[in-house]
Structure 1
Amino acid sequence: MAAPPTPTLVLLPEWGAGHLMSMLESCKRLLLRGGRAFSITLLVMRPPTAQATSQVEEHVRREAASGLDIRFHRLPAVDPPADAAGVEDFIARYIQLHAPHVRDAVAGMPCPVAALVLDLFAAPMVDVARGLGVPSYVFMSSTGAMLALMLHLPVLHRVVTVGFDELDGELHVPGLPPVPPECLPCPVVDKKSPNYTWFLRLGGSFMDATGIIANTADGLEPGPLAAVADGRAVPGRPAPPVYPVGPVLSLGSSASKKDSSSEPPHQCVAWLDAQPPASVVFLCFGSMGWFEPAQVVEITAALERCGHRFLWVLRGPPSSKSGAGAPDGSEHPTDASLEELLPEGFLRRTEGKGLVWPTWAPQKEILAHPAVGGFVTHGGWNSVLESLWHGIPMAPWPLYAEQHLNAFELVADMGVAVPLKVDRKRDNFVEAAELERAVRCLMGEEGRKAREKAAEMRDVCRKAVEKGGSSDAALQRLSEALHDGAVPPTI
């Protein structure tokens, strides 16, 4: 008698690497657990820019060669909306235009469908899953704090009658300390913005899902996760079960490069090898982080005056060829011209004590290096998780998306970071004196509590994903729920 076909998890990620790869890595853990088997079917939307398309195809090629049971289904192209009012409005609307194609793809699967796993921006497609009788799960690539805020946003919308930026006082988000309005994520500051309207809708769609898969851990964010689980985030309506399976990090490739005797270390890593333990502050601002020349000057002044060793990944402004002005906000930096951006004599004066790196750098390897003692970061959640995995305290410098809320949580709730005052009205500008103060604090005695807390969170992260840890147990519960719910699609 033939064995029954293996159920498949159908994934619909947003095309950005922080969304696509964290969703895929989370679901790959189900494949690697052994026992009850799944396959993965990744629905591939054509991104709205050529550079994003190239990056997605690179991910597809790598995963296709992994040997795991991962299949790829390319959805038909759609015309992007021409009248989007903002980045989040564009992304959500562009994804929603794929709904008929997603329905046809899921309905046409030749095997049982365990679930449709949706990016947070694709959450309204829980309706597609419901129409096919298929379970739906929203994948939360951001924090538990952001999840609690999104679920609670309709309540805040009703009780706060003025714009959040006009509020005199703090906002109360269940599971978090009182949140200053200036720490809200960029898309939800302006109630009149279409971006805000989308976030109201997205949070409501989360509530209609079968479950929520979150790239966090119980021990990292106990307050927000408990607030969702016990009903405080959405009073009067039980939230779907949340499965905190994180931290989900793809660390294998970096580790293998570092351990390879046939390949020399990256130049940044080789430079770190010559530095004393915990002596270097690392500055890096993600795949889309770059600064105007005036801000670069402030950073150079701060680094010279504070006197600490530093490794600074400095990127140049986007070019039209690389995607400047892209409708989805994916303005990727270019390699920096250090001669043009840096003040005259800065490299000479800091020679031996600092390294300015003008292109991509292996962030995971750098954070793993014993010479690194602190991290000035944009506060994207994947970067935060990498830093916590290695026990590195942070000074968060939020630039966009939900990063202002991340920075607030890291300082006020987790205690793993020192505060850095950014001027949101000046495009998140930081004065030299403020950055100097934060770096001195991060690397000096004032930062001792943040260092101790970061070391504690390192242990929390690693124990969570070990056999029997909280995230391992959540993954087991998710696996059982998916098998129990797997159904043949209905055309």
Structure 2
Amino acid sequence: MAAPPTPTLVLLPEWGAGHLMSMLESCKRLLLRGGRAFSITLLVMRPPTAQATSQVEEHVRREAASGLDIRFHRLPAVDPPADAAGVEDFIARYIQLHAPHVRDAVAGMPCPVAALVLDLFAAPMVDVARGLGVPSYVFMSSTGAMLALMLHLPVLHRVVTVGFDELDGELHVPGLPPVPPECLPCPVVDKKSPNYTWFLRLGGSFMDATGIIANTADGLEPGPLAAVADGRAVPGRPAPPVYPVGPVLSLGSSASKKDSSSEPPHQCVAWLDAQPPASVVFLCFGSMGWFEPAQVVEITAALERCGHRFLWVLRGPPSSKSGAGAPDGSEHPTDASLEELLPEGFLRRTEGKGLVWPTWAPQKEILAHPAVGGFVTHGGWNSVLESLWHGIPMAPWPLYAEQHLNAFELVADMGVAVPLKVDRKRDNFVEATELERAVRCLMGEEGRKAREKAAEMRDVCRKAVENGGSSDAALQRLSEALHDGAVPPTI
């Protein structure tokens, strides 16, 4: 008698690496843990820019060569919306245009479908899954705090009658300390914007899903996760079960490079090898982080005055070829011209104590290095998780998306970071004196509590994903729910 076909998880990620790879890595854990078997079918949308398309295809090639049971289904192209009013509005509408193609792809699967796993921006497609009779799960690539806020946003929308930026006082998000309005994520500050309207809709769609998979851990964010689980986020309506399976990090590539005797260490790592333990502050701002020349001058002044050793990944502004003005906001920086960006004599004066790196750098490997003692970061959740995995305290410098809320949580709730005051009205500008103060605090005695909390969170992260840990148990519960719910889609 032939064995029944293996159920497949159908994934629909947004094309950005922080969304695509965290969703895929989370679901790969279901393949790698043994026990009940699944395959993965990744629905590939054509991104709206050439550079993003190239990056997605690179991920596809790498995963296709992994030997795991991962298949790729390319969806037909759609014309992007021409009248989007903002980044989030564009992304959500562009993804929604794929709904008929997603329906056809899921309906045509030759095996049972365990679930349709949706990026947070694709959450309205829970209706597609419901129409086909298959379970739907929203993948939350951001924080539990952001999840609690998105679910609670309709309540805040009703009770706060003025714009959040006009509010005199703090906002109450279940599971979090009172949140100052200036710490809200960029898309929800302006209640009149289409971006805000989409976030209201997305949070409602979360509530209609079969479950929510979150790249966090119970011990990292106990407050927000408990608030969702016990119904405080959406009073009067039980939320779907949340499966905190994180931290989900792809650390293997960095480790293999580091352990390989055939490859010399990256130049940044080689430079760190010559520095004392915990003596270097690392500054890096993500795949889309870059600064105008005036801000670069402030950073150089702060680093020179504070006197601490530093490794600074400095990127140049996007070019038209790299996606400047891309409709989805993916303005990827270019390699920096240090001669043009840095003040005259800065490299000479800081020689031996600092390294300015003008292109991509192996962030995970750098954060793992014993010479690194602090991290000035844009506060993207993947970067935060990498920092916590290695017990590195932070000074968050939020630039876009939900990063202002992340910064608030890291400082006010987790206690793993020191505050850095950014001027949101000046495009998140930071004065030299403020950055100097934050770096001194981060690397000095004032940052001791943040260092201790970061070390505690390192242990929390690692224990969560061990056999029997909280995230391992959540993954087991998710595996059982997916296996029990797998059904042939019905048309």
- TM-score, with normalisation over the residues of structure 2? 1.00
Distance 2:257 2:490 in 1: 46
Q: Deviations over 1:384-422 (max 9, x none)?
A: 000000000000000000000000000000000000000
- Deviation, 1:35, is 1.0
CA positional deviation for 1:39: 0.0
Matches of 2:13 and 2:36, distance apart in 1: 24
- Paired with 2:467 and 2:116, the residues of 1 have a C-alpha distance of 27
Secondary structure, counterpart of 1:421 in structure 2 = coil
Q: Secondary structure at the match of 2:123?
A: helix
Structure 1 residue 202, shift from structure 2 partner: 0.1
Q: Counterpart of 1:228 in 2: which secondary structure?
A: helix
- SS across alignment from 1:118: strand
SS at match of 2:246: coil
Aligned to 1:232: 232
Residue 118 of structure 2: SS of its match in structure 1?
strand
Question: Are residues 1:181 and 2:185 paired?
Answer: no
Q: Tell me how far 1:445 sits from its aligned partner.
A: 0.1
**Cα deviation code 1:46-84 (max 9, x no counterpart):** 000000000000000000000000000000000000000
Cα-to-partner distance string for 1:265-320 (whole Å, 9 max, x where unaligned): 00000000000000000000000000000000000000000000000000000000
Q: Distance in 2 between matches of 1:367 and 1:12?
A: 30
Using the TM superposition, give the Cα deviation of residue 114 of structure 1 relative to its aligned residue in structure 2, in angstroms.
0.1
**C-alpha deviation, 1:168, in angstroms:** 0.1
1:18 is paired with a residue whose SS is helix
1:104-149 deviation per Cα after TM superposition (whole angstroms, max 9, x unaligned): 0000000000000000000000000000000000000000000000
SS at match of 1:179: coil
Tell me, in whole angstroms, the C-alpha distance in 2 between the residues paired with 1:261 and 1:327: 43
Counterpart Cα distance in 1 of 2:111 and 2:261: 44
Deviation for aligned residue 1:41: 0.1
Q: Distance in 2 between matches of 1:226 and 1:360?
A: 38
CA positional deviation for 1:328: 0.1
The 3-state SS of whatever aligns with 1:430 is coil
Distance 2:422 2:350 in 1: 25
| Identical residues among aligned pairs (%) | 100
SS at match of 1:26: helix
SS in 2 for 1:376: strand
* CA drift at 1:432: 0.1
CA deviation digits over 1:201-249, x for unaligned, max 9?
0000000000000000000000000000000000000000000000000
d(CA) in 2 for partners of 1:187, 1:135: 29
How far off its partner does 1:184 sit? 0.1
Deviations 1:304-344 (CA, angstroms, capped at 9, x unpaired): 00000000000000000000000000000000000000000
Secondary structure of the 1:137 match is strand
Deviation at 1:468, TM superposition (A): 0.1
1:349-401, Cα deviation, whole Å (9 max, x unpaired): 00000000000000000000000000000000000000000000000000000
For 1:450 and 1:436, the matched residues in 2 are separated by 17
> Structure 2: which 5+ runs fail to align?
none
**Equivalents in 1 of 2:35, 2:140: separation in Å?**
26
What's the Cα RMSD here? 0.2
Cα distance, 1:29 vs structure 2: 0.1
SS of the equivalent of 2:34 reads coil
Q: How many angstroms apart in 1 are the aligned matches of 2:105 and 2:31?
A: 21
Output the CA distance in 2 between the equivalents of 1:271 and 1:434: 27
Distance in 2 (CA, whole Å) between partners of 1:330 and 1:163 is 28
CA distance in 1, matches of 2:134, 2:118: 12
Counterparts of 2:228 and 2:34 in 1: how far apart (Å)?
30
Q: CA shift at 1:424, angstroms? A: 0.1
Q: 1:210-359 residue pairs with structure 2 within 5 A? A: 210-359=210-359
Instruction: Establish whether residue 45 from structure 1 lines up as the match of residue 45 from structure 2.
Output: yes
- Alignment map for 1:358-437 (pairs within 5 Å): 358-437=358-437
CA distance in 2, matches of 1:34, 1:147: 29
Q: Which residue of 2 aligns with 1:83?
A: 83
Q: Distance in 2 between matches of 1:209 and 1:308?
A: 49
1:281 is paired with a residue whose SS is strand
Aligned-partner SS, 1:115: strand
Tell me the distance in 2 between the aligned counterparts of 1:402 and 1:47. Answer: 21
SS in 1 for 2:310: strand
Runs in 1 of length 4+ with deviation above 4 angstroms? Answer: none
Distance 1:353 1:459 in 2: 31
CA distance in 1, matches of 2:29, 2:57: 22
Indicate the residue corresponding to 2:149 in structure 1: 149
* C-alpha separation in 2, matches of 1:91 and 1:256: 35
- 1: CA distance, partners of 2:96 / 2:307: 50
**Aligned-residue offset at 1:490:** 1.1
Cα-to-partner distance string for 1:166-215 (whole Å, 9 max, x where unaligned): 00000000000000000000000000000000000000000000000000
**In the aligned structure 1, how far is the partner of 2:322 from the partner of 2:192?**
31
Aligned to 2:166: 166
Q: Which consecutive residues of structure 1, in runs of 5 or more, have no partner in the other structure?
A: none
Mapped partners of 2:149, 2:394: distance in 1: 23
**Distance between the aligned counterparts of 1:452 and 1:35, measured in 2?**
38
Cα distance in structure 1, aligned partners of 2:444 and 2:162: 42
Aligned length: 491
Report the Cα offset of residue 23 of structure 1.
Answer: 0.0
**3-state DSSP of counterpart to 1:130:** helix
